[in-house]
């Protein structure tokens, strides 16, 4: 499915409303919107995902300030489609406020989050592996497994191979820099895992292999 596939006309053959690709796009839109509203960014070229979001949904600029209306609209969609909590957004807001004091800090911050996200997805895909195939009625068990996996990533120091330990160490550094709590990571990872389970088999297998 392409960018913002859930905006397209639904049909039984292609409908995949609220898939992982859409979720990750909205996450990027939210980050970019917070940065825009906090730092007064006016150059849409710095905010590619937010710019597409704004054009696609025809979101009007509020009070001549980019990011305000886009942030509100994006947050509402993430809440309604994916069930993300208020605390999830508060931690993102606090992270951006802490790390981004001026426009020059925006891109390095986004790169840091991208690195955090990539390492986290790769490691979780490897650690949970077959557990991603648990049937939907076992989502409660999957939640518990996700909590344990995230806790291991943050506290366990005995790993079978050096590559895994290096990834674990990198994630811990990103977490400290970005300022996210363990609960935030659990909520984020669990949503990614449940979305991966709903993807077509090949995409789910690709997630496993990351």
| Helix, strand, coil share (%) of the chain residues, nearest 5 | 75, 0, 25
Task: State how far the Cα of 173 lies from the Cα of 185, in Å rounded to an integer.
Answer: 14
Place of tokens 């979001």: 53
Task: State how far the Cα of 157 lies from the Cα of 134, in Å rounded to an integer.
Answer: 27
Beta carbons within 10 angstroms of residue 10's beta carbon: 10
Global pTM reads 0.85
SS3 label, residue 135: coil
Q: Give me the pLDDT at residue 1, please.
A: 40
Place of tokens 């802490």: 98
Sign of the torsion formed by the C-alpha atoms of 127, 15, 138 and 143 = positive
Q: Give me the pLDDT at residue 128, please.
A: 77
Question: Quick one: DSSP state of residue 199?
Answer: S
Based on DSSP, count helices (H) and strands (E) in the chain, helices before strands.
9, 0
Q: Is 17 left (phi over 0), alpha (psi -120 to 50) or beta?
A: beta
Q: Give me the pLDDT at residue 109, please.
A: 96
Sign of the torsion formed by the C-alpha atoms of 114, 3, 203 and 147 = positive
Pair 94, 179: CB distance under 8 Å: yes
Q: Residue 156: CB partners within 8 Å, gap ≥ 6?
A: 168
Beta carbons within 10 angstroms of residue 205's beta carbon: 13
Max CA distance (Å), the chain: 54
* Nearest CA-CA partner of 105 in 181, 52, 177: 177
Question: Quick one: DSSP state of residue 104?
Answer: G
Q: Residue 133: CB partners within 8 Å, gap ≥ 6?
A: 197, 204
Task: Please report, in tens digits, the pLDDT of each residue of the chain (210 residues total).
Answer: 444 554 544 433 334 456 888 999 999 999 999 999 999 999 999 999 999 999 999 999 999 999 999 999 999 999 999 999 999 999 999 999 999 999 999 999 999 999 999 999 989 888 877 555 655 656 788 889 899 999 999 999 999 889 999 999 999 999 999 999 999 999 999 998 888 777 655 444 555 454
């Amino acid at each position: 499915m392409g960018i913002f596939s859930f905006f397209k006309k639904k049909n039984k053959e292609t409908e995949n409303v609220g898939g992982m690709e859409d979720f990750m796009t909205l996450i990027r839109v939210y980050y970019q919107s917070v940065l825009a509203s906090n730092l007064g960014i006016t150059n849409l070229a710095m905010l590619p995902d937010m710019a597409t979001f704004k054009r696609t949904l025809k979101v009007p600029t509020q009070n001549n300030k980019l990011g305000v209306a886009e942030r509100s609209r994006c947050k509402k969609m993430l809440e309604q489609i994916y069930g993300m909590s208020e605390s999830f957004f508060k931690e993102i807001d606090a992270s951006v406020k802490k790390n981004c004091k001026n426009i020059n800090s925006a891109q390095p911050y986004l790169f840091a989050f991208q690195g955090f996200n990539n390492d986290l997805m790769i490691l979780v895909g490897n650690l949970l592996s077959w557990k991603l195939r648990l049937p939907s009625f076992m989502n409660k068990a999957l939640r518990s497994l996700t909590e344990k996996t995230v806790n291991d990533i943050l506290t366990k120091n005995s790993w079978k191979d050096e590559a895994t330990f290096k990834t674990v160490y990198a994630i811990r550094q990103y977490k400290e820099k970005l300022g996210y709590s363990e609960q935030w990571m659990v909520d984020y990872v669990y949503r990614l895992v449940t979305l991966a389970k709903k993807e077509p088999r090949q995409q789910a297998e690709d997630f496993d292999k990351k």
